[in-house]
Amino acid sequence: MRLPQSIIRPLSVFFIHFLITGALLVFASGPLNAFSTIPELARSPSLIRFGNVDVGQTETLMVTLTNNGQSSVTVSGVSISDPAFATPNLTLPLVVPAGQSVEVSISFTPATTGWTPGLIKFASNATNASLLVQAGGTGVDSEAVTVKPSSLSFGQVPVGGNSSLPLVLTNARSWNITISGIQITGAGFTVSGPTFPVTLSRGQSLALTVNYTPQTAGLEGGSVLVSGPGLCVPLAGTGTTTGMGQLSISPASLNYSNVPVGTTDTLPITVSATGASVTVSSASSSSSQFALTGASFPVTIAAGQSMSFGVAFTPQSSGTVSGSLSFSSSASDSQLKESLTGVGTATPYSVSLSWNQSSGAVGYNVYRSPSSSGSYAKINPALDNNTAYADSSVVSGNTYYYAATSVNSSGVESSLSTPVQVAVP
């Protein structure tokens, strides 16, 4: 007796004498550009100077991307000329609303000593589709002048107000080192201290004061470049308007229904600020199956403005998954949560078997084994009077081996037929 063929099919579809492996049709369409003009993207500064950085250490500075147009700009890609430079925590695509700015972090990690030039290119749908930022830094075995602290963060400062932090430079060499001057980037930052040049003897320190006076609301980055020893100190501060802003998310919850396991479905959310500008510093998901897309933090949302992001759901198994997305910000409610629910679905499969009728047989039994050399177990609960059987207990991704026997009117069962192999997708 022989088993000539088998069929794998979803339970809801019935086919006979064919092997169904499944097919997926994907229909995609792209949105038409509804705008006659595309806004322009600008960056500040256009040149980032990291100064001297110890080999293997990382220094991070910020560049501001500003959308001066009338509609949103989407940054879709970033290319970097040298691996010593990177854009940590940047998630693409990045949407910059009209009239808004976002801060993008650029890091420098020298692998060898010496000067390293770099070029960071942002690709977008703006009129200037390629936006270039030049960067440069020098890798050193050890810095001649140490600085404490290594970076300054002013936190939130009211627009028009002032905050000051100390900065101490110390000569770490056994010989004299001359500081020829100070160069500062970032519109809200200034430095006060002695008149340059200043020569520091071995172990001598120099005290400076860095001031932050924000002129506009939002996150601002900058740097202090110490000429002579080539030392760079990153600066950051957030200008705030009177009162605390409020952050809201629309819709209040997201529900994903019947998403096939291993695939991704993305739904949009809109984050809005009211009362005053709000700086969103980070976002986190309570489940790895939910992820925020199109966001790069920190980002400041002006009062009365909104930003749109995507939340992707990628189920890892069938069933209902619950989670939440938390936003940390400068708003009065510093921890805002978005409720998430999704249902993952797995395609059920059935193996349909058929065989030729055996002379003198009154019924048949069907046997299955998980391997070609393993033992076979009967899977039909009662003698099968037909020459066909459907096995709906298979699991996706497994391979099975089937054989059948015939039973005559005296109850005598034949030996197993030649097995057939069936791989379930």
* 240-276: pLDDT as tens digits: 766 667 889 999 899 999 998 888 999 999 999 987 7
Cα 301 from Cα 277, distance rounded (Å): 6
Q: What is the mean pLDDT of residues 178-194?
A: 92
In residues, how long is the chain?
425
77 & 160 share domain: yes
Q: Are 231 and 147 in contact (CB under 8 A)?
A: yes
9 & 74 share domain: no
Structural domain including 353 reads: 5-23+349-423
- The residue ranking higher by pLDDT, 163 or 4, is 163
Q: What is the mean pLDDT of residues 192-211?
A: 94
How confident is residue 11, by pLDDT bands cut at 50, 70 and 90?
A: very low
74 & 136 share domain: yes
pLDDT of amino acid 161: 76
314 & 372 share domain: no
133 & 198 share domain: yes
**Range name among 296-300, 339-343, 349-353, 387-391 with the lowest pLDDT average:** 296-300
How confident is residue 67, by pLDDT bands cut at 50, 70 and 90?
A: very high
How confident is residue 37, by pLDDT bands cut at 50, 70 and 90?
A: very low
pLDDT of amino acid 279: 85
Q: What is the mean pLDDT of residues 212-241?
A: 89
Q: What is the mean pLDDT of residues 11-16?
A: 34
Cα 1 from Cα 348, distance rounded (Å): 30
67-104 in b/e form (b: 16+ CB < 10 A) is: bebeebbebeebebebebbbbeebebebbbbeebbbbb
69 & 151 share domain: yes
Does the pLDDT value for residue 384 go beyond 60?
yes
Q: Which amino acid is at 123?
A: A
Residue 12: is it exposed, middle or buried by C-beta count within 10 angstroms (0-12/13-18/19+)? exposed
- Give the CATH number for residue 293: 2.60.40.10
Quickly count: other Cβ atoms within 10 Å of residue 55's Cβ.
Answer: 14
270 & 317 share domain: yes
Domain boundary residue among 174, 205, 240?
240
pLDDT of amino acid 6: 53
Query: Which residue(s) pair with 248 in the sheet?
Result: 272
Instruction: Give the phi and the psi of residue 144 in degrees, each rounded to 5.
Output: -70, -30
Q: How far is CA 58 from CA 38, 81, 86, 138, 319, in A?
A: 36, 17, 10, 12, 43
Cα 212 from Cα 365, distance rounded (Å): 84
Cα 355 from Cα 387, distance rounded (Å): 5
152 & 294 share domain: no
pLDDT of amino acid 243: 64
283 & 365 share domain: no
Q: Are 230 and 59 in contact (CB under 8 A)?
A: no
221 & 204 share domain: yes
Cα 231 from Cα 214, distance rounded (Å): 24
Of all residues in the chain, the percent with pLDDT exceeding 70 is 89
**Range name among 27-31, 35-39, 265-269 with the lowest pLDDT average:** 27-31
Q: What is the mean pLDDT of residues 349-363?
A: 91
**Range name among 241-245, 335-339, 386-390 with the lowest pLDDT average:** 241-245
Cα 163 from Cα 83, distance rounded (Å): 36
How confident is residue 39, by pLDDT bands cut at 50, 70 and 90?
A: low
225 & 271 share domain: no
- The residue ranking higher by pLDDT, 179 or 335, is 179
Q: How many domains does the chain have?
A: 3
How confident is residue 363, by pLDDT bands cut at 50, 70 and 90?
A: very high
Does the pLDDT value for residue 383 go beyond 60?
yes
How confident is residue 5, by pLDDT bands cut at 50, 70 and 90?
A: low
Is the residue at 38 inside a domain? no
Does the pLDDT value for residue 74 go beyond 80?
yes
62 & 121 share domain: yes
